[in-house]
Every structure is written in C-alpha cells, then in structure tokens.
Structure 1
Amino acid sequence: MRLPRARTVRERPELLLVPAVFALVVLVWEFAVPAFGVDDYLLPRPSRIADALWTQLLDPLFWRHLRVTLLESLYGFLLAAMAALVLGTVIAQVRLIERTFMPYIVAFQTVPKVALAPLFVVWFGFGMTSKVVMAAVIAFFPILVNVIEGLRSADADRIQMLTVFGAGRFEVFRMVRLPSALPFIFVGLDIGIVFSILGAVVGEFIGAKEGLGYLLLQTNYNFDIAGMFAVLVVLSVVGLVAHFTVRLAQKRFVFWAEDSRVTGSA
C-alpha cells in the first residue's frame, strides 16, 4: 500500500501541499494574533472563528439563511446559463446580430453591478426575485463570452469537409461546433456559478430579510467579527463545492478534452 500512496503524492503533490499550507496558515494565524496584541474584535483567532462557526451550524436559523442564498445563486446561475447559451449561439452563428447587439452587451457589462442592485430591489422587491436577477446579471457575461469563443474555435477544415459531404448547418453545429465549444462553455459555467453566489450576496447586502448576506450585515452590526468570518468560511466552502461540481460535470461530459490535455502534456 505504501508504493501507490508515494506514487500518488509524486504525481499530484498538491494533495499534500494544499492541507499543509492550510494548516501552516491557521497555526501562524492562531499564535500571531495574541503575540502581536491584536484584539479579537479586529482579527479573531481561528479557534474563535471555529467556535462561532460551530454555534451557527447548531442554529436552525442559520440553515434557513444558507438555503435562501443557495436557491438564489442556483436560480440566478441557471437563468444566466440558459440566456448566455441561447444568445451566444445566435451571436456566434450570425455576424450581423453580433455587430448589432454586442456593443450594447459590452456597455452593459462595464456598468458596476453593485450600482444596479438598488434598482433591482425597487423593480423586483425585497424578496428572492431581485437576488436571482442580480446573480444572473453578474454570471451572464463570462458564460456568454466563452460560449461565443468556443463556437468559433471549431476546426474550419472539419466544417468544410462536412459541408462538402452535404451536411447542413444543424449537423455542422451538432458534430463540430458544439463539441469544440464544450470545454469553453464549462470554463464559463465554472466562473459563472461562483459569480452567481457573489451576485446573490451583493443583492442581500442591498435589501433582504434573510440569506447569508443579510446574516453578514447582522453580525457586522453586532460587532461579531468571529461570526462574520464564520459566514465567510461557509461562503468559501459553498463556492468550492460549486466549483468542483462543475469540474466533475466537465470531466464527465468533456472527457476527450481531459484526455487530449494529458496526452499533449506527456
């Protein structure tokens, strides 16, 4: 059993380095805070954060806040993904539509999304809808760009060959453009799902009665800095789970891209 473990560590040293770096940072943080005389209300020690996290995990109200943020993020991500896939496909296929609408999309992307959050609250209310729209708006553009670039990355020779053999536009899209675009699409989905969490929390900052963003504001008002760090830890875990979920789906549906990357690196 020792040889496979040693070989695994040699091939993937991050399996050892990631937890080692985490443990080192936590230990340095734990002992550096009292050593430099930093007050807990400015920078709590990891042990205090762990206590606050455990207290929140035992509170049923915390799980209600978590559920709300997860639903807002998921609905916003799905809305952004569907809109970006449809619009990106149309833009990549029709140059006139790209030249007509892409400047407006880019101009809208340059607007700070935090500035739009109050408008969404006014338009859609303090409920979940405004947070879903906020999450979708933030997640939309990276998915859209990757869809367009992916569809355009298709091999021109393969497209020409299929066209010569009588394949129509739909057959070319299904057999060449879409498979070539899938690695790009999953990159956009990976970015978008993390951005959707950010958008949901930003929306909760502006106006909400529940959610992790609302809980962050409450702990801030109460000067519960350890509680704030505990919520941030939960948000980080949620982001990591979302990221690895998309990566697992990518390995499942775009396995040929993984194989070609491994072959090319060898």
Structure 2
Amino acid sequence: MNTRTQTYVDRALAVAGLVALWQLAASLSWVDQLLIGSPMGIAAYLRENLFGDGILLVDFGWTMLGTLAAFALGTLAAIATGVLFVISPRMERAFEPILAAVNSMPRIALAPLFLIWFGLGLASKVAIGFSLCYFIVLSGTVAGGRSVSQDHSVLAVTLGASPWRKFIHFTLPTAVPTIFAGLRLGLVYSLLGVVGGEIIASEHGLGQQLSLLSSQFNTNGVLGILLLLALTGAGINGLMNVLENALLRWR
C-alpha cells in the first residue's frame, strides 16, 4: 500500500471511529441527544428531506443560485477594479481609504441594510455574498498584478512591447496563480455570505432552514444541513483546485 492510499485509509478509519463513538454516546445517553444529535438521526433527516420530499434539494438550489450569482458578479467587478488599480496606481491611492473603510465593516451588520434595499428575496443574499467575494478577489488580483518580475517588465519595455501586450504576455500569466487563490476563497465566502443572509431573513435557502430548525430544537436537522454545507464547501474547493491545475498546466 503506497503512502497516498494509506493516508486515505487512515482518514476513513479516523472518521469512522469518531462517528461510532458519537453514536455510542448518543445511544447510551452519555450526552443528551438534544445537544449533540446522533449520526443515525442526521442520516435519517437527510434521507427524508433530500431523497424523500426533496425540500432540501429546493433550498440547496436557491442557496447555490445565490452563491454563483454573488461569485460571478463579485469576481467580474473585483478583477476589473484590480486591473484598473494595477494599470493606474494613482487611482488605487485615491480609492484605497474608501475601500478599506467599507471592507472593515462586518457584513452581518450590513445585512439589515441590504434587506431594506433589496427585500427578502434572492437579491439581498447576492448582495451580501458579493460584498464578501469582491474584496477577497480584489486583493488577490492586485497582489498578483504587482508580483510580475521587474526583470520581465524591463525586458518588455526594452523590446518595445505596448502596455497592452505587456499586460497580456507578462502581467496576466504571472498574476493568475494569485488570482486563483482569491477566487477559491471568494467562492467559499460567497456561500458563507448567502447562507448568513438566509439565516437572518429569507424566503428560501439552506440558511432559512437552519433558522427554522434551530427554533424547533431539531439538532439532527441543524447538523444535517451543516454537514451538507461542509461537503459543498469541500466540493467547491476541490473543483477550483482541478480547474486551477488545468489552466496552469503550462507552469
């Protein structure tokens, strides 16, 4: 058995051991199930609501729709702003204090304002996710744009490359890895922002279900949705890794 396979086996055994201990503690009432739920109860909840009546599938669809919309809008705006700042440092110096002040505001505190502006529907959740994604991707874009080797910049100028060709052939390829690091975090934080907005006030979504289940003291339901969100986040991160490796194969 090679090292990689051994690692997967060890991880599976560790998870299985923890789940077995959790189920034993719940079954023997070592800890009240109202506090920790039980693996079997979580599995039953997910089976009924995912594959039974499909309620969670609908809410999952709403959450992912808001996440993808927030990520797409936040990424486009952030990359456009980042490229502008890299090309024009004067513009960055002018807007940096404003953006820093806005970025320092807690998004959950701004959620009621977004609800007033955009209502209880999907738009307010997209706005919260956008506000988180935008600044993360913007930071990665600016850092990537500034990471180009000074020797390459001098070489490009010496060879008579125009600013546009210099950007396409030198700055952008160098910046892509750093930008992707920001994109990976931006997508995860878009999900967090959308779910957070749904918890506060929403008509649909996993966050709305979390709020409802917690008010009913349904621990298994709350933990089931948290497990679903954790698996979704891990899947998003894995997908971004595959995409990054495919696009950066040339490196």
Q: TM-score higher than 0.5 here?
A: yes
Deviations 1:12-50 (A, max 9, x none): 654333323322221222223445621111111211111
CA distance in 2 between partners of 1:101 and 1:24 (Å): 53
User: Are 1:126 and 2:125 matched, yes or no?
Assistant: no
**SS state at 2:93 partner:** helix
202-211 vs 70-79, greater mean Cα deviation: 202-211
Q: Which residue of 2 aligns with 1:75?
A: 69
CA distance in 2 between partners of 1:196 and 1:244 (Å): 16
TM-superposed CA distance for 1:252, in Å, is: 0.7
**SS state at 2:35 partner:** coil
**SS state at 1:255 partner:** coil
CA distance in 1 between partners of 2:5 and 2:161 (Å): 44
CA distance in 1 between partners of 2:5 and 2:90 (Å): 47
User: Are 1:59 and 2:53 matched, yes or no?
Assistant: yes
Q: How does 1:119-198 map onto structure 2 within 5 Å? A: 119-198=113-192
TM-superposed CA distance for 1:11, in Å, is: 4.8
CA distance in 2 between partners of 1:86 and 1:139 (Å): 14
Q: 2:78 aligns with which of 78, 84, 108?
A: 84
- The one-letter amino acid paired with 2:18 is V
**SS state at 1:41 partner:** helix
**SS state at 2:37 partner:** coil
CA distance in 2 between partners of 1:156 and 1:209 (Å): 52
Q: 1:37 aligns with which of 30, 37, 45?
A: 30
**SS state at 2:36 partner:** coil
**SS state at 1:62 partner:** helix
Closer/same/farther in 2, CA of residues 31 and 237 from structure 1, 3 Å limit:
same
Deviations 1:216-255 (A, max 9, x none): 1111121111011111111111111111111111011012
Closer/same/farther in 2, CA of residues 166 and 238 from structure 1, 3 Å limit:
same
- The one-letter amino acid paired with 1:247 is N
Equivalent residues, number: 250
CA distance in 1 between partners of 2:44 and 2:29 (Å): 22
Q: Which residue of 1 aligns with 2:210?
A: 216
In the alignment, structure 1 segments of 5+ residues that lack a partner are 1-5, 258-266
CA distance in 2 between partners of 1:75 and 1:169 (Å): 32
CA distance in 1 between partners of 2:64 and 2:144 (Å): 28
Closer/same/farther in 2, CA of residues 12 and 151 from structure 1, 3 Å limit:
farther
CA distance in 1 between partners of 2:35 and 2:86 (Å): 50
Closer/same/farther in 2, CA of residues 164 and 113 from structure 1, 3 Å limit:
same
TM-score, with structure 1 as normaliser: 0.90
Q: Which residue of 2 aligns with 1:233?
A: 227
